[in-house]
Amino acid sequence: MTTVVAESPGTGSGRSLLGTIAPPVGPPDVVRWSRFLPATEAEGPGVRAAVWLQGCAVHCPDCFNPQLWAPRGGIVTSPDELARAWVADAVAAGAEGVTLLGGEPFEQAWGAASLARAFREAGLGVMTFSGHPLERLTAWARAGRDDIAALLEATDLLCDGPYLRDLPDTGRPWVGSRNQGIRALSERYEAAVRAIDADGGADRVEVRIARDGTVAVNGWATDAALAALFDDLGVRADSPAQIAAADRGRTRVEAVR
């Protein structure tokens, strides 16, 4: 059973049906992913690694990463193979944890849980984002979805619920709308969540510019703020097609968000 030790609960979700349909069961032996960063300060507490998984059926309007909706694209790899390299890279970069986002991690819950356990075994904390509300995830887990139960069990900090563009949240970090929850599922991030519930917090955006002039962005910002950045910075290089092309040694294809 999932235990919430501290939370900044969401409010005002109304009658939205987004995230209320159970995610499909993903394969146990592979994960489809788009991007990995060994260290970021924009995707959760402290310095942490981040993994963007490919595929999401929730389809929140005005999603920050619509390029990650498609269940195709990205790179397909064994989670055990990824974990060995990614944990080593994260530790070398000084990360204290990893964040799983996307995309929808619970659509690949078996593979995501394998990754999460590997980071935990190395002493790092695990944060997971989901467009599904926690009460739905726990209900599905109790009803026999062992894959969902496994990822919840391997998660220390959960941001849950769909992004609702009519409920923008500018007072808390990491989430985009007021209905979304920030919940500590273990004691590791209990103090951080209690501080957010009491005092709020600010979002961060990180922009990385490669030598070839392509741009990669992560974190959270409004469309207007991103448009202002892109007008000056050039093309994004973090779409699944670009990542896959680079992995195969091909020339990156320009993509505009």
Q: Is 239 left (phi over 0), alpha (psi -120 to 50) or beta?
A: beta
Q: What is the CATH number of domain 28-201?
A: 3.20.20.70
Q: Given this model, what pLDDT does residue 255 score?
A: 33
Domain edges within the chain: 28-201
Rounded to an integer, what distance in angstroms lies between the CA atom of residue 132 and that of residue 148? 11
Model pTM? 0.87
Rounded to an integer, what distance in angstroms lies between the CA atom of residue 207 and that of residue 228? 13
Q: Given this model, what pLDDT does residue 253 score?
A: 34
Q: Given this model, what pLDDT does residue 15 score?
A: 75
* H or E element at residue 8: strand 6-8
Q: Given this model, what pLDDT does residue 144 score?
A: 97
Q: Given this model, what pLDDT does residue 243 score?
A: 61
Q: Given this model, what pLDDT does residue 151 score?
A: 98
Low-confidence ranges of the chain (pLDDT < 70): 1, 14, 223, 229-230, 232-257
pLDDT tens-digit series, residues 210-224: 888 888 889 887 767
Q: Given this model, what pLDDT does residue 138 score?
A: 98
The number of residues making up the chain comes to 257
